[in-house]
Amino acid sequence: MDFSRQKRKLQFWTDKIGNILLRLSWHLVHAVIYLCYFTMGMVHALESHLISRGLLRKYKSLYISKINYLAIVIESEDACRTSNVIQLLQWVVALGINHICLYDNEGILKKSKDLILDKFDGVILFQDTQEDNMLLDQPCMTLEFVSYSDGKEAVARAANVLLKEYIKSGATGSNQGEQIFSESQMSEALKTVGSGGPEPDLILIYGPARCHLGFPAWRMRYTEIQHMGPLKSMKYGSLIKAIYRFTTVQQNYGK
């Protein structure tokens, strides 16, 4: 009887110690992983700080002229942070990039358009009637505001334009169909419906998810896409690093 009681007691304490050890291991693993990510975060923050101060030689001179047109995609919840958006634009302009497209899915930036434009002297609101090359030759800053309606919905409207032309031409053969429905005709039709901006060289995405949230698909065939994290965590150093990374890229365009 005593023996079985002793045995039960031993079993009890063994289980208890085992549980404690398991819990400790669990917390230890969590702590280690947390430390790793904390360290990575610190390293990123330090690197960003050093870049912003110009202490890292690699990032001192940027080949900015490689960016003719920059697009910034902002997640709609972040788009309400107008002060952050303005700060970001000021950084971009300070780097020498003057032609910028701002996109958010719900069109919140379009509603804040006047507030944003007020903060920049001599800025021109992008006019679709301009030719792309004329736009990019403008020495002053241009800003374009784009939302989801300028993407898929615009392509549908442009398709309607082409279709009306197709019907008007009394087209019967497939050749005429191919002439009217072509990539260049679609680009022209998009300009006609007011959604024909140039293809950006680089898109910076500010948001929690690494996706472009419906940015006009027709305009991003060869566009470089970089995810920057949430807008509230934006850093000047990270911006420079992203732009530097783009300027080192070489595109083969299929070759």
Partner 1 sequence: MLSLRFAVPTANTLIPTKTKPKSGLVVQTGWKQTGLSSSPPKRYDYKLQAATTDITDGRASVEDKEVELPAGLSRELMPKHVAVIMDGNGRWARQRELPTSAGHEAGVKSLREMVELCGQWGIQVLTVFAFSSENWIRPKVEVNFLLSLFERALKSEMESFGRSGIRISVIGDSSKLPASLLSLINEVEETTKNNTRLQLIVAVSYSGKYDVIQACRSIAERVKDGQIQLEDIDEGLIEQELETNCTEYPYPDLLIRTSGELRVSNFLLWQLAYTELFFTQELWPDFGKEDFVEALSSYQQRQRRYGGRHS
To partner 1, the closest distance from the beta carbon of 160 in angstroms equals 5
| Interaction between residue 159 and partner 1 (CB under 8 A) | yes
Is residue 147 a contact partner of residue 107, using CB atoms and an 8 Å limit? yes
What are the residues whose beta carbons fall under 8 Å from the beta carbon of 8, sequence distance 6 or more?
none
For the segment 179-198, give every residue that binds partner 1 (CB under 8 A). 180-183, 186
Using the contact rule CB under 8 A, the part of the chain among 6-14, 87-95, 123-131, 215-223 near partner 1 is 215-223
Helix (H) or strand (E) holding 164: helix 152-168
| Cα(60)–Cα(2) distance, integer angstroms | 80
Residue 42 CA to chain centroid, in angstroms? Answer: 23
Using the contact rule CB under 8 A, the part of the chain among 1-9, 115-123, 132-140, 205-213 near partner 1 is 205-213
CA distances from 23 to 29, 44, 151 (A): 10, 32, 52
Tell me the torsion sign for CA atoms 191, 193, 197, 202.
Answer: negative
Using the contact rule CB under 8 A, the part of the chain among 38-46, 58-66, 87-95, 127-135 near partner 1 is 38-46
| Interaction between residue 214 and partner 1 (CB under 8 A) | yes
Strand, coil or helix: 80:
coil
| Interaction between residue 53 and partner 1 (CB under 8 A) | no
For the segment 99-118, give every residue that binds partner 1 (CB under 8 A). 105-106
Give me 105's structure tokens: 């899915």
For 45-70, give the secondary structure using H, E and C.
HHHHHHHHCCCCHHHCCCCHHHCCCE
Are β-strands 99-103 and 142-146 bridged in parallel, bridged antiparallel, or unpaired? parallel
| Interaction between residue 166 and partner 1 (CB under 8 A) | yes
CA distances from 35 to 25, 29, 233 (A): 15, 10, 20
* Interface with partner 1 (CB under 8 A), residue from 16, 94, 217, 232: 217
To partner 1, the closest distance from the beta carbon of 190 in angstroms equals 11
Helix and strand numbers (H, E) in the chain are: 10, 6
* Interface with partner 1 (CB under 8 A), residue from 59, 69, 145, 218: 218
| Interaction between residue 34 and partner 1 (CB under 8 A) | yes
Phi then psi for residue 171, to 5 deg, are -65, 135
| Interaction between residue 30 and partner 1 (CB under 8 A) | yes
For the segment 64-83, give every residue that binds partner 1 (CB under 8 A). 75-77
Nearer to partner 1, 105 or 142 (CB): 105
* Interface with partner 1 (CB under 8 A), residue from 110, 111, 225, 247: 225
Q: CA Rg, the chain, in Å?
A: 27
To partner 1, the closest distance from the beta carbon of 152 in angstroms equals 4
Q: Give the binding site for partner 1 (CB under 8 A).
A: 26, 29-30, 33-34, 37, 40-41, 44, 48, 75-77, 105-106, 148, 151-153, 155-156, 159-160, 162-164, 166-167, 177-178, 180-183, 186, 208-215, 217-218, 220-230, 235, 238, 242, 245, 249, 251, 253-255
